[in-house]
Structure 1
């Protein structure tokens, strides 16, 4: 199997972003430990988190592709993936997915049982609840937002073994961000999604309501993104960056609501790609700078 095939099988870019998010919050959790129990960053455990997170996320994506193999054949965006294109059999993919999933969960359990349980829950919810629900109702987006927001929480508890207010805030930011992010993608790819019977836009079509709802979530994201500063574990730097990024995000969502154009949806989609890593990185640097 070529790297290109394996990369498509595990959705490498998505997996990379997920692992990046978890690795950032692991360092934030490590800083909390340093401040409370004077324990330095464990870089070995950081590496284990990256490995375990990569394996678990890749496994979830493989299970998703196995379940949707017949639907992937119908969409231009996915028909070239290894399973629908015939490069790989379902059985081969299942073996790879099981190996990656079990190995990743074991690694995360060794780091922290809470991280391991959250990883198992994430795989189950993404592959076996969200995936089949995509063809039935747009409520799938709400269900999918939960496993989509768990990586930063998993990364945090892997370093700081308890779910506290900081962990919940980093989870909340990514949870709310996902709605506007995902609906922007759904708006752009709606024609392709409909070939497979996916119902992902709020109303099932590109209309005003399907643009208003992502804008509402972009508005909600603004106060949520300011929680680190408001609650005192983030400084004014992250507050300022979050404010600016959220206002830009809101403007892009407003532009989609105003024009209902695919071009505006693409701008919002690309804006969402920049929003999350910038906010998470600045939160990390702001957090590391605090004594």
Structure 2
């Protein structure tokens, strides 16, 4: 929704609702197939052992049917009621999550970088839904979501590291704990310049640069402590800090958004001749 709200176009509530519904259905489809594929391994992890497929509350056939139906409906809604570009992004995210990210978790730590792409695409879908394009603003929004996921997920993974090992997942936190915390710190730092690009390309006022610096500094402090001394407490602090960080950053971004419509209307008035302007104001 933030991607749609930040796009430089007039808001169409029908399109917004269709985008939200279609994106939600695509996410439901991807998550369903993910849990279907990982049910035997989820049973070995404390965080996931109570999922419905693990407890056999529903059958694999029901799950596969639900995943297929929600995927078709989600992409169909985006294609018919939004635009083909947004539908392609939605379909691509389903494929990326289920066919690349999910199996790669058992092969290589690169899965974390692939999974972060999955999380970066939804705001780009919102932008594409509004503009039918992927302008620089869409890529910056996606990059912010991409970078945020490393301190978020790597701190979560720290307290799940023994479960990941038991279930046979190849995660950064198991293969190289020092890299796990170092990557969290690096991407927390990256959030600063990414947020500064937002006012630079005139998506927001420069007040967002100031506000985002304060919020990003809080996340960076947590990431620094996690890097300096990785333990359950610093990981937990960073994880919960990331849960607060993202909605606050996005809310501030929308609060400081420049009034594109007003600016465009001013430019339009400058192009109107004096005679036409008098007729309009009569």
Q: TM-score higher than 0.5 here?
A: yes
Q: Equivalent residue for 1:284?
A: 254
How much has 1:101 moved relative to structure 2? Answer: 0.6
Q: Equivalent residue for 2:112?
A: 141
Q: Does 1:170 align with 2:148?
A: no
Q: Equivalent residue for 1:251?
A: 221
Q: 2:172 aligns with which of 176, 182, 201?
A: 201
Q: Cα RMSD between the aligned structures?
A: 1.4
Q: Equivalent residue for 2:195?
A: 225
Q: Equivalent residue for 1:69?
A: 39
SS of match in other structure, 1:83: coil
Q: Deviations over 1:53-90 (max 9, x none)?
A: 11110110000001101111111111111111110110
* Pair 1:202–1:77, CA change in 2 (3 A): closer
How much has 1:253 moved relative to structure 2? Answer: 0.4
Q: Equivalent residue for 2:4?
A: 26
Contact 1:135–1:197 (CA under 8 A) maintained in structure 2: yes
* Cα separation, 1, equivalents of 2:258 and 2:213: 20
SS of match in other structure, 1:226: helix
Q: Equivalent residue for 1:154?
A: 125
SS of match in other structure, 1:74: coil
* Cα separation, 1, equivalents of 2:164 and 2:244: 24
Q: Equivalent residue for 2:154?
A: 183
How much has 1:113 moved relative to structure 2? Answer: 0.5
Larger Rg: 2
Aligned residues: 260
* Cα separation, 2, equivalents of 1:136 and 1:192: 16
Q: Equivalent residue for 1:114?
A: 85
Q: Equivalent residue for 2:271?
A: none
How much has 1:230 moved relative to structure 2? Answer: 2.2
Contact 1:28–1:288 (CA under 8 A) maintained in structure 2: no
Q: 2:206 aligns with which of 227, 232, 236?
A: 236
How much has 1:96 moved relative to structure 2? Answer: 0.7
Contact 1:187–1:201 (CA under 8 A) maintained in structure 2: no
Q: Equivalent residue for 1:89?
A: 59
Contact 2:161–2:174 (CA under 8 A) maintained in structure 1: no
Post-superposition, which runs of at least 4 consecutive aligned residues in structure 1 deviate over 4 A?
Answer: none
How much has 1:41 moved relative to structure 2? Answer: 1.4
How much has 1:202 moved relative to structure 2? Answer: 5.3
* TM-score normalised per structure 2: 0.88
Structure 2, unaligned runs of 5 or more: 263-282
Structure 1, unaligned runs of 5 or more: 1-22, 34-39
Q: Equivalent residue for 1:4?
A: none
Contact 1:234–1:286 (CA under 8 A) maintained in structure 2: yes
Q: Deviations over 1:229-279 (max 9, x none)?
A: 222221122212211111111110000111211110111111111111111
Contact 1:187–1:265 (CA under 8 A) maintained in structure 2: yes
* TM-score normalised per structure 1: 0.86
